[in-house]
């Protein structure tokens, strides 16, 4: 079975009880923006979705797993997370996605699950979130291949749940994820920066790893367009470019799919893209990173950790592999 049930870092029920008025108020706003009102009613029987929504609207509740409670993990301010972006469909400057993606309509949004699965599906994103049991919040490190990093409190659901829903056939070995075709009027002069649509992929065992996450929110707010609305991949032990944004298709396939940055420059960007301070990028060191929002405009330098600090959770996935060759 591929199901990995999230345990330790599910929000404690107690996170939803204090400041009741504020919580109820922001929940109403949240239900309105996400269209989850009906789903909340449908799942109200066991109260799970309800309490997670309450908690998720209240900013930054405590995270149960000691791994995600590291006092050294200081969440990056919301404004930086949502204004310093890579989303090349909207321009190559860090500030461009926020400016250029505002008018893009990301609701309603249909997600397709297809390929070598027993349960192919075309589903509205809000129905999908409801099928996944609602939200949980996780604080993850995020590290771009270009040696900058942030700490981001994501809301969303484990990708393992989507894999379980799809019910892959034995021949399926990889999940390929595709970004929506961004309308040309929006992408404008940036059309040729990369090959579109942006695609990424994971081995199925990577996708089912407990850490792999589909984010639908940041700091308890619906994820903004520039960060990949309405749903994007988060694999915190890998470089940021694996985190494909605004996904319209999850396709289960037999062979390793193309991934956009690897297509751009195979010797610089691999398929695995695991964060690894011991394997430098051909043009720069991967031994350290700039922490965005810490210590001045460029960010304080800190050492980069193997698998971005998630060795315990993911090292077994790569046992016996030469990480210098399979970068
Ligand atoms: N569709 C799409 N997804 C993308 C990218 C992109 O250009 N297009 N950039 C990637 C890169 S290089 C990084 S570092 C992260 C940045 O995510 P953030 O802007 O939410 O921090 O998104 C990744 N996902
Ligand atoms: Mo990146």
CA of 82 relative to ligand 1 center, distance in Å: 12
Residue with the two structure tokens 């330790």: 8
Average pLDDT over residues 265-281: 97
Average pLDDT over residues 157-167: 97
Spatial contact of 87 and 97, defined as CB atoms under 8 Å apart: yes
Spatial contact of 231 and 163, defined as CB atoms under 8 Å apart: no
3-state DSSP call for residue 35? coil
Ligand at minimal distance from the CA of 194 is: 1
pLDDT for position 230: 96
Task: Say how far apart CA 57 and CA 55 lie, in whole Å.
Answer: 5
Ligand at minimal distance from the CA of 87 is: 1
CA of 241 relative to ligand 2 center, distance in Å: 4
**Ligand 1 atom closest to residue 142's alpha carbon, by position in its atom list:** 21
- With cut-offs at 50, 70 and 90, classify the pLDDT of residue 187: low
Q: Of the candidates 161, 171, 166, 263, which has an alpha carbon nearest to the alpha carbon of residue 212?
A: 161
Q: What is the DSSP letter of 227?
A: G
pLDDT for position 137: 86
* Burial readout 296-325 (b: 16 or more C-beta within 10 A, e: otherwise): eeebeeeebbbbbbbeebbeebbeeeeeee
Which residue CA neighbors atom 5 of ligand 1 most closely? 87
Report domain extents, the chain. Answer: 13-318
CA of 116 relative to ligand 2 center, distance in Å: 29
Residue-wise pLDDT tens digits, 101-116 = 999 999 999 999 999 9
Average pLDDT over residues 183-206: 82
Tell me the Cα Rg of the chain. 19
Global pTM value: 0.82
Residue-wise pLDDT tens digits, 57-78 = 433 443 444 555 567 789 999 9
Cβ contacts of 23 within 8 Å, gap of 6 or more: 16, 54, 55, 57, 58
Q: Of the candidates 248, 212, 207, 251, which has an alpha carbon nearest to the alpha carbon of residue 231?
A: 248
Q: Tokens standing for 149?
A: 């990093």
Q: Which fold has domain 13-318?
A: Sulfite Oxidase; Chain A, domain 2 (3.90.420)
pLDDT for position 64: 42
Pocket of ligand 1 (CB under 6 A): 85-89, 144, 179, 198, 227-228, 240-241, 243-245
Cβ contacts of 138 within 8 Å, gap of 6 or more: 9, 63, 68, 153, 154, 156, 213
pLDDT for position 298: 78
CA of 238 relative to ligand 2 center, distance in Å: 10
- Judged against a pLDDT cut of 50, whether residue 18 lies above it is answered with no
């Amino acid at each position: 079975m591929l199901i990995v049930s999230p345990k330790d870092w599910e929000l404690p029920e107690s996170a939803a009880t204090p400041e009741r008025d504020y919580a109820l108020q922001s929940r109403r706003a949240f239900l309105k923006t996400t269209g989850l009102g009906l789903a909340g009613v449908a799942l109200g029987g066991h109260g799970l979705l309800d309490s997670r929504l309450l908690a998720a609207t209240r900013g930054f509740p405590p995270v149960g797993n000691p791994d995600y409670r590291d006092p050294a993990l200081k969440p990056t301010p919301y404004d930086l997370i949502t204004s310093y972006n890579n989303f090349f469909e909207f321009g190559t400057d860090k500030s461009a996605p926020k400016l250029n993606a505002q008018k893009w309509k990301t609701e309603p949004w249909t997600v397709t699950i297809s390929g070598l699965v027993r349960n192919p599906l075309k589903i509205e994103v809000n129905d999908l979130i409801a099928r996944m049991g609602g939200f949980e919040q996780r604080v993850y490190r995020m590290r771009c291949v270009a040696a900058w990093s942030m700490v981001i409190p994501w809301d969303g659901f484990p990708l393992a749940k989507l894999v379980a829903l799809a019910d892959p056939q034995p021949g399926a070995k990889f999940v390929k994820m595709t970004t929506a075709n961004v309308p040309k009027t929006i992408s404008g002069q940036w059309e040729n920066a990369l090959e579109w649509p942006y695609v990424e992929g994971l081995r199925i065992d990577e996708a089912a790893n407990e850490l792999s996450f589909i984010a639908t929110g940041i700091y308890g707010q619906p994820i903004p367009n520039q960060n990949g609305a309405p749903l994007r991949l988060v694999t915190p032990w890998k470089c940021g470019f694996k985190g494909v944004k605004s996904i319209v298709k999850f396709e289960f396939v037999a062979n390793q799919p193309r991934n956009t940055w690897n297509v751009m420059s195979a010797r610089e960007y691999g398929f695995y893209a695991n964060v690894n301070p011991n394997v430098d990028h051909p043009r720069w060191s991967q031994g350290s990173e700039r922490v965005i929002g810490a210590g001045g405009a460029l960010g304080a330098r800190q050492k980069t950790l193997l698998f971005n600090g998630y060795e315990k959770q993911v090292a077994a996935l790569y046992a016996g592999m030469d990480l210098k060759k399979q970068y």
